[in-house]
Amino acid sequence: MPLVIEITRGDITKADTEAIVNAANNNFWMGSGVAGAIKAAGGLVIEEEAMKKGPVMPGEAVFTGAGRLPFKGVIHAAVMGQDLRTRDTFIRQATIASLLLAETHKFKSVAFPAFGTGVGGFPITACANLMIRAVKGMEGRLTSVQRVQFCLFDDVAWKVFSDALVKIEAE
């Protein structure tokens, strides 16, 4: 069964997936952006649980409960260190680490934000290409995960990810 990749626009805390991914720093304190939205909607318990599992190396990911959110869990992908900067290797590794955690927990669906494009300052086009290619590269290794959603907060990010997916699938 082929892996379905979806590009949606909206609030990741309202995604229609079993789990969501948080774009995190490697100590897992949750400040602004996606992390702040997840903490605000799901409760401080998510941050507290995540911080007990850190620090990790950028590129790694950890799993926590979802607090008040309706998901089976939250995957925290360390896409940056304490300098709050990211780079392509961290984004690629964190995407793969998140998929492997989703697979370990036997989730059928998982939603990702655009890693590192907010606080991390990473270019959205490069992010879209890296993350979509990382997901496509894992397709043969995933048995539980059947649907990966990129949940983008604004129209520009949605368009960039949509265009990148069309281009990559045409290759």
- The pLDDT tens digits of the residues spanning 21-52 come to 999 999 999 998 899 999 999 999 999 999 99
Structural domains in the chain (count): 1
CB 17 within 8 A of CB 41: no
Question: Residue 119 has what pLDDT?
Answer: 84
Question: Residue 82 has what pLDDT?
Answer: 83
Stated pTM of the model = 0.97
d(CA 68, CA 46): 9
d(CA 67, CA 41): 9
Give me the sign of the Cα torsion angle 32, 38, 44, 49: negative
Residue 111 belongs to domain spanning: 4-170
CATH code for position 33: 3.40.220.10
Question: Residue 84 has what pLDDT?
Answer: 80
Question: Residue 85 has what pLDDT?
Answer: 87
Collect the ranges in the chain with pLDDT lower than 70.
none
